[in-house]
Amino acid sequence: MSGRRRAFVPDERRVPTESDLDRRRLAEALDAVGDAVVVVDTVGEAVLRNNAADRFNDARHADALAGDALRELLDRARSGEECSRELQLFGPPAEVFWMTARPLMADGRRIGAVGLVRDVTEARRIETVRRDFVANVSHELKTPVGALAVLAETLANIDDPAVARTFAERIADEATRVGAIVDDLLDLGSIESQVAHRSTISVAGLVHAALDRVLAAASASGHEIVVADCEEMVTCDRRQIVSALANLLDNAIKYSPSGTKISISARSADGWITFEVSDQGVGIPSRDLDRIFERFYRVDRARSRTTGGTGLGLAIVRNVAHSHHGDVTVDSSEGDGSTFQLRIPIAGNVSPLFAEGR
């Protein structure tokens, strides 16, 4: 496979023939293909290689492994076999390549082989995320649905109305739990599908709409909520931001003892609105801080279950932040309360900072 980069080297001094142009067109067309393409002759000499294939030629380290694998496939293809394989490189960066090679024939004769390498790293990552997600959802729904079946079965054999009522109440609780998971999944789905309905609204209006959603829970649990909003207007998807703030407030209530203070504030600076929700609750151990925004991740599963948590609240907050080209951060330590900050651009568009992959 080594050797000339391209068989065709234009000679500037002469007028190109039609066959020169054909080859140039072919070389240009192969460069336009995102995959790496290599054509070899009957002895394995590369007669055509597009730009994307350059990285595998005389390469070192991980690319050399891919180059070797492709060479092997091309050798097999030269002897008439059509073959393909996937190559996983553990990196960093971790990469996955799908490669294939097939013989090239002319008038019933083998005249070489063509090999193709496709970078499928992102596709495999998405497949894994999707698979894990389906496994997680099934697992999360299995517990309450299993409980519902057992409770209903037991209820059918109970004669005492008082005991039956207890079982009926537990059935209602489990059904509410399933409903909460499904609602959160629908929320996540609609945010991820990027259907944002942006309008320009007051920051104070957003904060108060979120407060309205949690006031009943806060007064039932004996929490005081301190509010400091700002005068600014912001362009955003109202439903999404209110849902994110309500999730942060709801967590502050769930994970802090009765009688403690919770605060929500909003401030504007340099084209950004920062919402902040603080509590004086149990806090989050530093080892969990990186993971709490993952779907279904809980620091304390038992506590989350008793508080009716779905494990999806912070995943929703993170998705809302990203769909607004913003971010969400947390500052917390175990036993010391937590402060979450949700930051979005006032104008609702991508800031140059984010465009540079900040």
Binding site for ligand ADP (CB under 6 A): 247, 251-252, 254-255, 279, 281-284, 292, 297-300, 304, 309-315, 338
Q: How far is the CB of 196 from ligand ADP (least distance, A)?
A: 21
Contact predicate 256/217, CB 8 Å: no
Nearer to ligand ADP among residue 272 and residue 296 (C-beta): 296
Nearer to ligand ADP among residue 67 and residue 311 (C-beta): 311
Nearer to ligand ADP among residue 57 and residue 323 (C-beta): 323
CA distances (Å), origin 280, targets 258, 333, 337? 10, 11, 4
CB-based burial label for 260 (10 Å; 0-12, 13-18, 19+): middle
Nearer to ligand ADP among residue 285 and residue 348 (C-beta): 285
Q: How far is the CB of 321 from ligand ADP (least distance, A)?
A: 13
Q: How far is the CB of 82 from ligand ADP (least distance, A)?
A: 48
Nearer to ligand ADP among residue 95 and residue 187 (C-beta): 187
Backbone φ and ψ of 282, nearest 5°: -70, -20
Nearer to ligand ADP among residue 37 and residue 314 (C-beta): 314
Q: How far is the CB of 317 from ligand ADP (least distance, A)?
A: 8
Nearest Cα to Cα of residue 265 among 253, 251, 248: 248
**Helix (H), strand (E) at residue 104:** strand 95-106
The Cα–Cα gap between 343 and 67 comes to: 45
Contact predicate 83/76, CB 8 Å: yes
Q: How far is the CB of 282 from ligand ADP (least distance, A)?
A: 5
Q: How far is the CB of 253 from ligand ADP (least distance, A)?
A: 9
Contact predicate 35/118, CB 8 Å: yes
Angle at 267 between CA 215 and CA 294, to 5 degrees: 65
Tokens of 17: 């023939």
Omega before residue 257 within 30° of 0, cis: no
Nearest Cα to Cα of residue 122 among 96, 149, 91, 147: 96
Nearer to ligand ADP among residue 57 and residue 251 (C-beta): 251
Q: How far is the CB of 195 from ligand ADP (least distance, A)?
A: 22
